[in-house]
Amino acid sequence: MLPFAGKGAIATLLVGLVQSQPPIRILDPTNPNPMPSDARMSQFEDPKGASWRVFAVNALPDAPVTIVQVEEVRQQNPPSTWGVYIVSRAPMPIESVTLAAAVVDVNGKVKATQLLPAIRNLKPVNLQRRETRIRVTVIFPTDRVVFYLKEAAGEVGEWKAEDGNVAALIRTAAQRLPVP
């Protein structure tokens, strides 16, 4: 059995060891090598649900609207429908947002583009989902669907994607996500 002074010394030693550890930070802004789960790394990731079959490109990086998720909604009877989720980062409502879905072949060349119905009066931090069936062309098993913002307009400004820039973005993304 330890004397009273011995128990106190052990307790003081244990408390000192616990307090001498540096604090654990959830997000260290000075870390030059962030982990993939770090919030700063999510700005470069593809939207949720992106794969070689369906993905999105950021055609309007300055616009206050962004695509956060894409999906292929498989039906019991083909063809599939395609879903896209957008969110507004603007402090005020966005009057009109037009999305487009492009069908891309195995080489990254755009076969056809289909505009989705415009989204009106998109509120700040509001998530909207749109689902569409591709009707402009036949989708082959190696084709993919790419969503992008075609145009956005609101009190904070107007943005419009240029077709040449969008085609280059799509080609680059298609090379990054090759057909298996």
* pTM (two decimals): 0.73
Per-residue pLDDT at 112: 93
Residue from 92, 74, 104 nearest 166 by CA? 104
Per-residue pLDDT at 25: 52
100 close to 130: Cβ distance less than 8 angstroms: no
Per-residue pLDDT at 23: 56
Q: Give the max Cα distance, the chain.
A: 87
Residue from 16, 77, 83 nearest 55 by CA? 83
Per-residue pLDDT at 77: 80
Residue from 6, 156, 19 nearest 88 by CA? 156
Contacts of residue 142, defined as CB under 8 A and 6 or more positions apart, other chains included, come to 105, 106, 179
CA 161 to chain centre: 18
Per-residue pLDDT at 82: 93
CA distance 141 to 143: 6
Which phi and psi angles does 131 have, rounded to 5°? Answer: -125, 140
CA distance 88 to 122: 7
169 close to 60: Cβ distance less than 8 angstroms: no
**Domains and their CATH numbers in the chain:** 39-176 (2.60.40)
Per-residue pLDDT at 31: 60
Per-residue pLDDT for the chain (180 aa), expressed as one digit of tens each? 555 556 666 766 666 655 555 555 555 556 666 554 444 444 445 688 888 899 999 999 889 999 999 999 988 887 889 999 999 988 889 999 999 999 999 988 999 999 999 999 999 888 999 999 999 888 888 999 999 999 999 888 899 999 889 999 999 998 888 888
Rounded (5°) CA angle 43-59-100: 120
DSSP 19-83: HTSPPPPS--TT-SS--TTSGGGGGGSPPBT--SSEEE--S-TTSSEEEEEEEEE--SSSSPEEE
